[in-house]
């Protein structure tokens, strides 16, 4: 899926920010931070990951489902791939 970084190089920066947020959660856990503080950080990570998933889903739809020039078979495969991921993600 190299088209993701070609079409939207900000995705790498977004992932790096998420990695920084996860590292902050780890630091606070190691330091024995209060539960509320850790939960707040984890909620921020979850929101950031959800935003990343939304962006990648949109990119997938544009490239593999709604893209011009795709065959019916390619569109069906793109839709099936997306459905499988959504089902897994929503568990």
DSSP symbol at 63: I
> pLDDT by residue (tens digit) across 29-83?
999 999 999 999 999 999 999 999 999 999 999 999 999 999 999 999 999 999 9
Please tell me the distance from the alpha carbon of residue 15 to that of residue 19, in angstroms, as a whole number: 6
Collapse the DSSP code of 8 into the 3-class scheme (helix H, G, I; strand E, B; otherwise coil) and give the result. coil
- pLDDT score of 4 more than 90: no
What does the pLDDT read at residue 61? 94
Please tell me the distance from the alpha carbon of residue 25 to that of residue 4, in angstroms, as a whole number: 28
**What average pLDDT does the chain have?**
92
Closest CA to 13 of 44, 42, 39, 51: 51
What does the pLDDT read at residue 91? 81
């Amino acid at each position: 899926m190299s088209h993701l970084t070609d079409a939207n190089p900000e995705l790498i920066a977004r992932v790096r920010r998420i990695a920084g947020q996860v590292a902050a959660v780890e630091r606070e856990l190691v330091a024995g931070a209060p539960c509320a503080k850790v939960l707040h950080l984890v909620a921020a990570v979850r929101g950031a990951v959800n935003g990343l998933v939304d962006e990648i889903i949109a990119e997938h739809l544009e490239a593999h489902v709604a893209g011009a020039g795709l065959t019916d078979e390619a569109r069906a495969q793109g839709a099936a791939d997306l459905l499988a991921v959504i089902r897994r993600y929503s568990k």
